[in-house]
Each structure stands twice: as structure tokens, then as C-alpha cells.
Structure 1
Amino acid sequence: MLLPVIMAGGSGSRLWPLSRTLYPKQFISLTSDNTMLQDTITRLSGLEHQAPFIICNEEHRFIVAEQLRQHQLSHSGIVLEPVGRNTAPAIALAALHGVKDGNDPLLLVLAADHAIQNQERFIKAIEKAKVQAVQGKLVTFGIVPSGPETGYGYIKQGSPLGENAYEVERFVEKPDLSTAQQYVDSKDYLWNSGMFLFKASRYLEELKLHRPDILEACELAYKGARQDLDFIRLDEDAFKACPDDSIDYAVMEHTTDATVVPLDAHWSDVGSFSSLWEVADKDADGNVTHGDVLMQGTHNSFIYSQNKLVSTVGVDDLVVVETKDAVLVAHKDKVQDVKSIVNQLKAMGRNECNQHREVYRPWGSHDEIAQGERFHVKHVVVKPGEQTATQMHYHRAEHWIVVQGTAKVLNGENTYILSENESSYVGIGSAHKIQNPGKVDLHLIEVRTGNYLEEDDVVRLEEYGVGY
């Protein structure tokens, strides 16, 4: 049986400010109405397969669970990585999970942040790869190149192995433009997609042969794992001791059973705004727009508005991205350098690289509307049946005004109901939480006042997932 393994880690820093460390591109709707994670899973609908096994960062666990819930998507487990250790250990965890009950599934390893426009060709390539994988081959999918791309590694095809499958002659690092053009002209090279198909047991065998240190650390981490709601929590110390390495370096470049299946399905890793522009629908002037955008004399540009009207006049080949707390303007040929802006923000200790102004929680979200020296104003949304953590503050008071829905409020020793247009005052040192007992989203305005208003002024008295 086929077990899809969805790798949902990564920060997507080249898509800042849309993608942030705590809400990266795989959880954003970039190429359709669904998020990229949701698209990755629903794309498998033409295959007979088990519920997917998902690997993500600890800090993204509730985002993953919520996005699966939104589309009623089942899973075989959600493994939480306490730290990132690259793809070789991540896939080892999936393989160990696959063989734990004496089974030996075919692992279909996919990244959660890839765009594939032709699902039919994608499914056909997987079916062809299965023929090789059941024979013990370690199959990777090579993308038929559409041009001399310098942002991808390449795979050189070797001798044919049946229908539309080839031995891997060698893996090649990202080339310069001249070399990339030679690869494309030769017809012997494919882009390295980072997608794989193989038996779980075969991967573990090859990992034991070439990187036993990684396998040993992953075995210890998985053996010490525990179940926590929908999540599998690894032994943190054991996993932190695991070496950091990719599957390419750890296994695929050393095994004698590496096989490649060409894939021509309009694939993109959506690694930058230029690649997002390439896969998106364009107007007659070659522009891609999202949100409230007005253009005059604008060509071949990517204009994204999240919160405000964005206007452009007489510009070509630009990327303009507006979010609630940041604006990016870049030439389309220079978008690979957006990561350097993110690095500068990190060095300055600025929060814009970590999360959006609107922050999502298991129970809903909160969005900062205004702030001053002694006040913060937020729009808080609590989903039906959900609640915040019980907590208190030493330096701030809070005023809550309900604008939609019904709130059940714990405030000190009192519990009461607030309806629309009603408000409540929570004093300094008073234990409090908000519940939504209704059937529709609860919207309220929270006004914080005091001499210290930062998020670390909180004592959580009762945890409910991630507090607020």
C-alpha cells in the first residue's frame, strides 16, 4: 500500500512578507483557493493510498491540524520535529512509522509547498514509479526542464529501466546559467524535484549502510515518542543529537539503486515570487494581481494586496507585495535576494520575519489594530466551541467589547455571558478566559491598557493548546 509522506517543514523566506517563520508558504493560499498543504493532499485523490503521514515543526502543529480539519482530511500521524534536521532524518521517521507493525508500505515522499498543475500526469508518473519501487529501487521524480533554471539541482539520466524510468547516472549541484543551458539542450538532464518513492524497508537498509548515525538517532527518537492528541512527539534529546543531512547526500548519491522517472506536469517549487508569477494566470499585459489593485501602464508584474489599495503606474517586471505590517518592492529578476531582507530583520530582532500581524491560534486568531505607549487594540476571533487559556497579567488591564456572537467570560470568581454590544473589564491580577458557546464565530475588540503590554506578561493558570 502507498503511504504518502508530506514534509511540511521549512520557512519559505524568499516569499516574505507573505511567508513568515511561524506561518510559512506551505500554509498559505498561493496557487489556488486551498493552501499548498491542502493542495498537496487533495492532489492524491486519483491514487489508492493510506491517509498521509505528515512531518512538521513543533511550532506549526496547530496550523497543520486546523488545515486538515477544514477539508476533513484524515492522516496516519503528525510527527513534530523539535528542531529541523533536514530530509534524511525526516524520511527515516516516516519509514520507521511505516514498518512498526510488520508492514512495508511504499513511501511517496512529497513536499507540502510544491505546485503541480497537471494532476493526471502526476498520477501517471507515480504509477510508473511504483513498478520500479516494488522491485527495490529508490525512485526520484525528475522534472522535464522548461528552461535553463539555475535555482534547481539536476539529475542526469542513465540507462533505461522499462517504461519511462532510468538509472540515475549522477546528481548535479545547481549550475550557472551557461551550464544549465547545456543541460537543457542535451535532453539528458532533469530538474531534481525532491520527491521520492520507495519501500520503507529499502530506505532504512540504505540509510543503515551509508548513514548509520542518522538511523540510530532516529530510532532512539522514535522509540521514545509519545502520542499527544493528534501529534507524535519525539524524544527531543535523541532527535536533537541526530546529524543534519538531506536524503540526496545521505542516500541517493551513494545507493546503486537510484532510479529517476521523468515528470512533465507543470511543476514548480514556488520558491520565489518570480516562480509564483510564472505559474499564475496573467492578464493581457502579463500581470498577476491579488486583492485591491489598480494599474496603469504596468507590464509583467506581480502585485499582491492583502489589506490596502495598491496602485502602480508605468512599471515593468516588478514584484509589489503589501501585507498588514510590511511592504516589499523588488525587481522580478532580483527576488532570490528577498532572503537577505529576512536575515537583516532577524539580525535586528524584528518580529516581522517571524509572524504576521494577524496571529492564528488553535481557538481562533487575534489581529493588532492599533498600539501606543500605554495601549494596544486587538480584534480577537474565537471559533465556536473553543476557548482561550485561563491566565492573568501583572501589568495590564483589558477591556472586551463583543461585536458579533456570544462570549462566556471567566473573570476572577465570576462567570457570565456577554452578547453583542456588551463589554467587560478585566483588572490587573484577575484570572480570566473567553469561551465561545455559540454556533458562529465570536468577534470582540480587546483594549489593553497599562505600563507594560508585551506578550510575556502572562501567567497561564490552565493551558488549552497555545494560550493567549
Structure 2
Amino acid sequence: MSSMSEPSIHPIVIAGGSGTRLWPVSRDSMPKQFVPLLGSGRSTFEETLLRVAGPGFAKPIVVTHSDFRFVAAEQIARLGIEADIVLEPERRDSAPAVAVGAVMAAAREPGALCLVLAADHLVTETELFTGDCRRAAQAAATGRIMMLGIRPTWPATGYGYIAAGASLDIEGAFAVERFAEKPDAATAERYIADGYAWNSGNFLFPADLMLAELEANAPAVVKAARGAVAGAQRDLDFLRLDPVAFAGAPRISIDYAVMEKTARAGVLQARFGWSDIGSWDALYDAKPQDADGNVLEGPVSVIGTTGSFVRSDEVLTTVIGLDDVVVVTTPDAVLVAAKSKAPDVKTLVAQLKREGRPEASQHHRIHRPWGWYQRIDIGDRFQVKHICVKPGGILSLQRHYHRAEHWVVVRGTAEVTVDGTVKLFHENEAAYLPIGCTHRLHNPGKIDLKLIEVQVGSYTGEDDIVRLEDIYARD
């Protein structure tokens, strides 16, 4: 993609969002960029990294929130690629994340070009994407911040639009004449007729140029980014940004901080297929539909239903006589909505959070760096969980003050430490952990360890865990 004399393109993958419009599949604890949604078995985060894993691209810089560090690391490792995983101590919108990536890329290579990519977008036609990146890089090298503009396929009211100005003498590359905010339907139709492009939120630029534009237009952002990177600490496979310095960054998007102010903005008329899959109706549009216009996934059966998206992760879900609806079933929550109202799911999730519903943020299956667990049943003085520990996974050395636990192995081998005594347990064997004992669970095998945990005691909450030692450096 580039000659030896040309700078590499340094991907900056922004992966810290929550994706609440795809609730209940996407939640704060496991947002949409890390969930397989498209049928390939890979998440959009993984697909994004694979697109920039070829020649001409440098090692990606992944900027994500600390809460997602282990799932990001696991998915990167599964792809067999290398990346710098940078952890934001708090969410400050996109401008600080872009600034951090630019600071790091500039330190890596003089004249570095950066490609900012959202981790939760769908891109089709990878070869066209690579070619568009090549053309955008050529334009960016002349001193431009190049937006990847998408040819509109319908008068969307949920996207910003970009009007192209003078040609930059590179195929499909133009100066930006103006940015337009999300329009109403009639205005969107006029924009399409006038040749406007959708603003995909993905863009390519020289790192030094972006830092200069931040200095001119949002100096607090770049000051915080430089300080956060300078004071960053290495933690296992992660780079933790300095929290005090990073807190000095205002909450602001890169569009407001730079793109709508700079005189150096350009737009490339991209040719690849794209969707931000920001809501269930957008995901419906991105998937193949059957003869009745339905997208049906999982254990689903419908009668007299058309133009609908029906998905079940586990429970048999049936629909009769409904058109243009979204029905999504998970083990602990069900969504039923008119497809036209799918973007309002974000408002619903905010309402659920105000009501104190844990389902708004937490999945039924809780992911941990060692694997996952999910609740099977809970009642007065007991709780039952299904636990999976991946090969090599080790739970923290811990104790509980209010409950005893029974571990029944159903698959694999468990190495159990109780008060310093280590013993192996195999399928159909059980370990007993009395209240107050110091204990640890380890999977020494090469297959997943699965067990049933029965907790008995006066209190079974997750906060009755005293960690004495933890290889994952959790609090």
C-alpha cells in the first residue's frame, strides 16, 4: 500500500462507546463493538482490526475504557495481531481519544499519518476500503484532515452531512465546503440531491497537523493528552493514561473541537459499503432478508409477519401478525418496538437506569479476564452460577465472610486451592469452600473448565469478595 519512503498509516481504533441503542444485546458491561452481530462470528472490533492488519498499516493504537481492557485484549489475541491498548480512566468523548492517538503516533514516526476508525461500524468491500485509505493518505499528505465521506443511499436524519468544495487533484478528494448537522427528512433529501456525503466519523490526517489544529482550536484537549501519555503507566499488556492529566480534557467531540473549525478539512468520496449499525433498524438494513422481508436469528418462529427483525439469543421467541417490528430476546430482558422507533431504545435505557434496573447495564453473562459466569438461580440464602474458566485462567485468591461455596466440575479440570492446600478436581467431582476460607480456582488444562457454583449463606452479593492476590491487577 505504500513505498518504503512513505510514512505508514497508524490506525487509531476508538473502542470505548456503550452502544445503548442496541440494548439488550449491547450493554455498558459488554457494548456492541465487542459482540458478534453480523454473522461472521467476529465482533465489529475484530473486523475493524483485520481491515488494517495488512501492508502499509502500522501497529494499531486501540483507545478504550479501562472497563473493557480484558475483552479487548482477548479479541486482539484471538486475531493473532499486535496492538497498543491504551486505557482511558474516564470517558471524555472523541477529541481526547483522537489527541492521545495522534501524540503516540507522532512519537512513533516523524510525519506519521493517522487513520481514526470507530470500532463499531460495518464496512464491506475491504479492497475498496484499502484503496480509499490510499487515496485519502495521498490527500492528507498535502496537509489535509481527510474525512471518509459515504455516498448516501437514503435521506437519513441520524447522520451529519458534508458538502464538497474545490477538488484536491486526487480522485474523489475535495476540500470541505461546509458541515451540516443532522437534518430533517426534507433537508436530507435536498442534501442528497446537492451531492452531499454522509459524515462517517472516520478520517485520516498527518499526526502533526492534527496536533497543531488542536493547539489552535482546543488547547486544553491536547495539553491533557500530552500529559496523560507522558505520565502513562504500563499495566500488564495495557498503557494506563495518567488520570490526573486526562481529567483536564473537556468532554468534546473531535467534530466540535477541530473539524468544524479547521480550514484544512477535506472529504474523500469513499466507495466502500458502510453502516454505523447504530440501532436495530440500521442492523436490519445491513443483513440479508427473507422473502417476507424478515431477519430472523436464533430460536425464532413467525406467522404472518413481514419487514421485521426477530432475534433470540436463547429462548424460543414467536411472533404472529406483526409488521415492521423489532423483537429481541435475551435470557434476562426482552425488547419489542416498532422498527421506526428503534433509535428510541437509547431513551428507554436511560429510563431503565433511572429506575435502578441492573439489566440496563449488566449482561446476564458477566465477562471476566479469566472467563465468564452467569446466574442460574437466586433465592433466600442461596445463589447458583454457571462458571467458565478459559485455559490458563486463574481467579483471584479470595475469601468470603457471609457465604460458603460448592463447586461441581462438569467439564475439564479444576485446580482448587483452599487455605494453602492444592487439589485437582475432575468431571463430576465437587469441592467445598467453607465460609472465611482463603481459596482460588485455576484451569490448568487445555480446554474450558466449566462448573456449577452453589453459594449458601446470609449474603451472596458480588461485593462479599476480599481479593488477597490477583494476577490481573484488579482492585
Q: TM-score range by the shorter chain?
A: over 0.9
Matches within 5 A, 1:85-104: 85-101=92-108, 103-104=110-111
Alignment correspondent of 1:239: 246
Tell me the SS of whatever aligns to 1:316.
coil
Alignment correspondent of 2:3: none
Alignment correspondent of 1:366: 373
Deviation at 1:104, TM superposition (A): 2.8
Given the alignment of the two structures, is residue 12 of structure 1 paired with residue 12 of structure 2, yes or no? no
Matches within 5 A, 1:20-99: 20-31=27-38, 32-45=40-53, 47-75=55-83, 77-99=84-106
* Structure 2 letter corresponding to 1:48: G
Alignment correspondent of 1:143: 150
Given the alignment of the two structures, is residue 382 of structure 1 paired with residue 389 of structure 2, yes or no? yes
Q: CA deviation digits over 1:391-424, x for unaligned, max 9?
A: 0001111011001111110112321111111101
Alignment correspondent of 1:464: 471
Tell me the SS of whatever aligns to 2:62.
strand
Looking at structure 2, the residues matched to 117 and 92 of structure 1 have their Cα atoms a distance apart, in angstroms, of 28
Alignment correspondent of 1:190: 197
The runs of 4+ residues in structure 1 deviating greater than 6 Å are none
Q: Residues 101 and 327 from structure 1, CA distance in 2 versus in 1: closer, same or farther, beyond 3 angstroms?
A: closer
Given the alignment of the two structures, is residue 201 of structure 1 paired with residue 208 of structure 2, yes or no? yes
Looking at structure 2, the residues matched to 413 and 119 of structure 1 have their Cα atoms a distance apart, in angstroms, of 53
Q: CA deviation digits over 1:3-22, x for unaligned, max 9?
A: 11100011000000000001
Q: Residues 16 and 392 from structure 1, CA distance in 2 versus in 1: closer, same or farther, beyond 3 angstroms?
A: same
Tell me the SS of whatever aligns to 2:401.
coil
Looking at structure 2, the residues matched to 383 and 413 of structure 1 have their Cα atoms a distance apart, in angstroms, of 23
Asked if structure 2 preserves the Cα contact closer than 8 Å seen for 1:402 and 1:423, the reply is yes
Deviation at 1:382, TM superposition (A): 0.8
* Structure 2 letter corresponding to 1:115: L
* Structure 1 letter corresponding to 2:68: H
* Structure 2 letter corresponding to 1:408: E
Tell me the SS of whatever aligns to 2:306.
coil
Deviation at 1:45, TM superposition (A): 4.6
Asked if structure 1 preserves the Cα contact closer than 8 Å seen for 2:14 and 2:63, the reply is yes
Alignment correspondent of 1:322: 329
* Structure 1 letter corresponding to 2:443: N
> CA RMSD, aligned part only?
1.3
Alignment correspondent of 2:115: 108
Alignment correspondent of 1:341: 348
Identity across the alignment (%): 47
* Structure 1 letter corresponding to 2:142: Q
Tell me the SS of whatever aligns to 1:197.
strand
Asked if structure 2 preserves the Cα contact closer than 8 Å seen for 1:361 and 1:466, the reply is no
Looking at structure 2, the residues matched to 373 and 357 of structure 1 have their Cα atoms a distance apart, in angstroms, of 20
Given the alignment of the two structures, is residue 222 of structure 1 paired with residue 246 of structure 2, yes or no? no
Asked if structure 1 preserves the Cα contact closer than 8 Å seen for 2:105 and 2:207, the reply is yes
Q: Residues 170 and 47 from structure 1, CA distance in 2 versus in 1: closer, same or farther, beyond 3 angstroms?
A: farther
Q: Residues 47 and 315 from structure 1, CA distance in 2 versus in 1: closer, same or farther, beyond 3 angstroms?
A: farther
Given the alignment of the two structures, is residue 166 of structure 1 paired with residue 166 of structure 2, yes or no? no
Q: Between Structure 1 and Structure 2, how many residues are aligned?
A: 466
Looking at structure 2, the residues matched to 103 and 239 of structure 1 have their Cα atoms a distance apart, in angstroms, of 24
Asked if structure 2 preserves the Cα contact closer than 8 Å seen for 1:377 and 1:446, the reply is yes
Asked if structure 2 preserves the Cα contact closer than 8 Å seen for 1:6 and 1:112, the reply is yes
Larger deviation, residues 245-254 vs 316-325? 245-254
Deviation at 1:464, TM superposition (A): 2.6
* Structure 2 letter corresponding to 1:390: L
Looking at structure 2, the residues matched to 409 and 330 of structure 1 have their Cα atoms a distance apart, in angstroms, of 47
Among candidates 268, 291, 299, match of residue 292 of structure 1 = 299
Looking at structure 2, the residues matched to 434 and 467 of structure 1 have their Cα atoms a distance apart, in angstroms, of 16
* Structure 1 letter corresponding to 2:344: D
Tell me the SS of whatever aligns to 1:100.
helix
* Structure 2 letter corresponding to 1:160: S
Q: CA deviation digits over 1:238-294, x for unaligned, max 9?
A: 111211111111111111111000123221000000000001011111111111111
Asked if structure 2 preserves the Cα contact closer than 8 Å seen for 1:362 and 1:466, the reply is no
Alignment correspondent of 2:135: 128
Alignment correspondent of 2:4: none
Q: TM-score, normalised by structure 1?
A: 0.97
Asked if structure 1 preserves the Cα contact closer than 8 Å seen for 2:53 and 2:81, the reply is no
Tell me the SS of whatever aligns to 2:454.
strand
* Structure 2 letter corresponding to 1:53: I
Alignment correspondent of 2:5: none
Q: CA deviation digits over 1:27-46, x for unaligned, max 9?
A: 01111321010011112355
* 5+ residue gaps, structure 1: none
Looking at structure 2, the residues matched to 221 and 44 of structure 1 have their Cα atoms a distance apart, in angstroms, of 26
Looking at structure 1, the residues matched to 348 and 406 of structure 2 have their Cα atoms a distance apart, in angstroms, of 37
Looking at structure 1, the residues matched to 452 and 272 of structure 2 have their Cα atoms a distance apart, in angstroms, of 47
Deviation at 1:103, TM superposition (A): 2.5
* Structure 2 letter corresponding to 1:176: D
